[in-house]
Structure 1
Amino acid sequence: MNLKQLSQMLQLSQTTVSRALNGYPEVNEDTRRRVADAAKRHGYRPNPSARRLATGKTGMIGYVMPTGATVDIDPHFVEFLSGLGDFARSHELDLVLSPTAADEEETTYRRIVANKQVDAVYVSSPCPADKRLTLLDQLHIPYIVHGRSEGLDFAYPFLDIDNEGAFHEAARLLIQLGHNRIALVNGEDWKTFAIHRERGVRKALNAGGLALPDHRLISNAMTDENGYRATRRLFEQDDKPTAIICSSLFMTLGVMRALRDLNLAVPADVSVIAHDDVFPWLKPENFSVPLTTTRSSIRAAGARVAERLVARLSELEDGARGEVWPVDLVVRGSIAGAPPGA
């Protein structure tokens, strides 16, 4: 079925049908839904070249992906991409990955915008005063940031979780259980999410008259091996922690392995709280001791970023709105009161 046949069947003009399928805001929601349902039912697919000529849009969302020997593909990214891809597919959008060397990101952004390769982009793992956001603001391409930056002199659209609040509540719960030697095994300290998580832990400790000394804060890429090494370092100290807050389930795999090698029991000797991005293949309740977690779905975040990008392309959203999701604290068997005499 072509556009003309679809419009005749619906008794609508070809212009109205085309605008409904391409998300133009002047088409009311009932008409948009009626056209979309009919197109799906009869197998209508717009010709990509014709749609680009008619609308000036490619139907593609872009992501500039740093690659190279020093860059690991993060499982968090894969799960996020699954959520984004599911939503994009349902709205007939494609995702374009543009690999680039870490020091050539700016050149790659300029190229894909100049060549009109994509309609919009999303940015992940922002850092303070992130130069990518300054560039995208200057290039005037629709974008959404997954996470937040700090220290910029302009507002920008973003979706983030309340990292500071989540880790504040985790630390506060441990303090209520009598722990006064709490360690934080965090992500890389140049990323804003890790800064916010450290800030949340420090605020809770300060409110309880406690501190987070340098030797009980370890920041690194969130891998199993780094979690293991961090835990071994923590227990080389004289004032060993009685509780660990960990920024990732993947790091927590290493944390639990190290504690087992040190013959330390969870939670009798050490309490553990981890952050859980909700992975279908790695569940906190399936650890040897079910893990207490701060919990938020990264797949749902991916879908929401795609939804907001579609809204921006359809002119249903504009401006620089920030969106911060609350984080659940799910208590399981990995925490208990501080050991006697600790």
Structure 2
Amino acid sequence: MGRDLNLKEFSKQIGLSQTTVSRALGGYPEVNPKTRARIVQAAEQFGYRPDKRARSLATGRSFNIGHVLTSRNKTELVNPIFGDFIGGLTETSSAVGYSLSLTLTEAAQEEAIYRKLKSEGAVDGVVLQLPRPNDPRIALLKEIGLPFVVHGRSTNVTTEYAWVDVNNRRAFERATQFLLDLGHTRIGLINGDETMDYAMRRRSGFEDTLKAAGVEADPQLMSRGFMTEDNGHAIARDFLSRPDRPTALLTSSVILAIGARRAIQEANLTMGKDVSLVCYDDDLSYLSNRQTVPVFTAVRSSVLLAGQEIAKMLIKQIEEPDSELSHVLLEAELVVGQSTGPVSKPFI
């Protein structure tokens, strides 16, 4: 359109009163859900954006969603996985008039930052990523009364909280069993940071599936660390240089898998024939594994979809404070690609 619509023009365009439109986009809970959905869809279609300052004055809310990154995880800013997650989060929240507020701080200042965000009314709720077992942030946010949704789960936290997670344990059970069914018993694990809950669940899925099959996991073939291409390359190169090298590798991201594939090629081995490779795939827009026949066999779940789901869940908490806390457990699908095959017989 040639220019932005104001509230009066937009309301007339869709045949509803200015009051109804304003209250629907302002997050007032008494608006009929179907009417709200219709207004939100029309606002997106016509490019209408209500005045944020006016809404804030009317509701006492900031219409900001907070996300705090500390010195422990600030490298996430250049991680394609984080990029897709934030894309899903902002796509959904901006459609109903919320902005994302990103704060960078030192780990020692994290508690103070959350308390400041709450006391100043700078955000209406926050997203927690990369939870650890017994994550203290959950109790803190409960204490100060700031709505939040966790991307993942925190083992041993018994208090009720909202979360969206992938069934990481089940995903790695399926991936490991797939390799076992192909005859692989010597499997290397290239995992993420195992101080994080998701990586602990993936490792337990891997180890327990081997144990159930009567296969002993080799601690020398299990590694953990940052999920970078360089790290995947270095670890896979180390594993493959051993006399009793693994016949298969399982990696915690497609980024690690790209590095592992490079190491396989440098060792003059053929991926899918000499060495099989399965990865966890966040279905990244920047590093797609969705070819007609995918390059990598993978357990796949969209991190962009997770971001969208978390935005919906958090905004509902903000706008309907008495609503029940929600939990969403996503299952990863197993996608067979070019990177796996039956175990090859040893050369004699």
TM-score (norm 1): 0.91
1:198 corresponds to: 203
Q: Give me the whole-angstrom Cα distance separating, in 2, the residues matched to 1:284 and 1:213.
A: 29
Are the structure 2 counterparts of residues 179 and 50 from structure 1 closer, same or farther at C-alpha, using a change threshold of 3 Å?
same
In structure 1, runs of 5+ residues without a counterpart are none
Residues 138-158 of structure 1, C-alpha deviations (whole Å, 9 max, x = no match): 111111001111111312100
Q: How far off is 1:31 after superposition?
A: 3.6
Q: Secondary structure at the match of 2:340?
A: coil
| Aligned mate of 1:182, from 166, 184, 187 | 187
Q: Secondary structure at the match of 1:160?
A: strand
Q: Give me the whole-angstrom Cα distance separating, in 2, the residues matched to 1:84 and 1:38.
A: 20
1:52 aligns with 2:56: yes
| Aligned mate of 2:28, from 24, 28, 33 | 24
- Answer yes or no: is the 8 Å Cα contact 1:61–1:94 preserved in 2: yes
Counterpart of 1:270, as a letter, is: V
| Aligned mate of 2:316, from 311, 316, 320 | 311
1:210 aligns with 2:183: no
Q: Secondary structure at the match of 1:152?
A: coil
Are the structure 2 counterparts of residues 99 and 170 from structure 1 closer, same or farther at C-alpha, using a change threshold of 3 Å?
same
1:168 corresponds to: 173
1:281 corresponds to: 286
Q: Give me the whole-angstrom Cα distance separating, in 1, the residues matched to 2:241 and 2:184.
A: 19
Counterpart of 1:115, as a letter, is: E
Q: Give me the whole-angstrom Cα distance separating, in 2, the residues matched to 1:4 and 1:283.
A: 43
Q: Secondary structure at the match of 2:65?
A: strand
2:231 corresponds to: 226
- Answer yes or no: is the 8 Å Cα contact 2:40–2:95 preserved in 1: no
Counterpart of 1:49, as a letter, is: R
Residues 234-271 of structure 1, C-alpha deviations (whole Å, 9 max, x = no match): 12434211110011111111111111111121122111
| Aligned mate of 1:84, from 84, 89, 97 | 89
- Answer yes or no: is the 8 Å Cα contact 2:84–2:285 preserved in 1: no
Are the structure 2 counterparts of residues 55 and 259 from structure 1 closer, same or farther at C-alpha, using a change threshold of 3 Å?
same
Q: Which moved more, 1:144-153 or 1:48-57?
A: 48-57
1:264 corresponds to: 269
- Answer yes or no: is the 8 Å Cα contact 1:88–1:306 preserved in 2: yes
Q: Give me the whole-angstrom Cα distance separating, in 1, the residues matched to 2:294 and 2:7.
A: 58
Q: Give me the whole-angstrom Cα distance separating, in 1, the residues matched to 2:183 and 2:112.
A: 52
Q: Give me the whole-angstrom Cα distance separating, in 2, the residues matched to 1:37 and 1:182.
A: 49
Q: How far off is 1:297 after superposition?
A: 0.9
Are the structure 2 counterparts of residues 121 and 332 from structure 1 closer, same or farther at C-alpha, using a change threshold of 3 Å?
same
Residues 136-188 of structure 1, C-alpha deviations (whole Å, 9 max, x = no match): 11111111001111111312100001111111001001111111101110001
Are the structure 2 counterparts of residues 237 and 114 from structure 1 closer, same or farther at C-alpha, using a change threshold of 3 Å?
same
1:241 corresponds to: 246
- Answer yes or no: is the 8 Å Cα contact 2:50–2:97 preserved in 1: no
1:129 corresponds to: 134
Q: Secondary structure at the match of 2:307?
A: helix
Q: Secondary structure at the match of 1:218?
A: strand
Counterpart of 2:25, as a letter, is: L
RMSD over aligned Cα atoms:
2.7
% identity of equivalent residues? 35
- How do 1:76-115 residues align onto structure 2 when only pairs under 5 Å count? 76-115=81-120
1:63 corresponds to: 67
1:297 aligns with 2:325: no
Counterpart of 1:272, as a letter, is: L
Q: Give me the whole-angstrom Cα distance separating, in 2, the residues matched to 1:150 and 1:78.
A: 26
Q: Give me the whole-angstrom Cα distance separating, in 1, the residues matched to 2:288 and 2:199.
A: 22
- Answer yes or no: is the 8 Å Cα contact 1:285–1:291 preserved in 2: no
In structure 2, runs of 5+ residues without a counterpart are none
Tell me the matched-pair count.
Answer: 341
Are the structure 2 counterparts of residues 8 and 331 from structure 1 closer, same or farther at C-alpha, using a change threshold of 3 Å?
closer
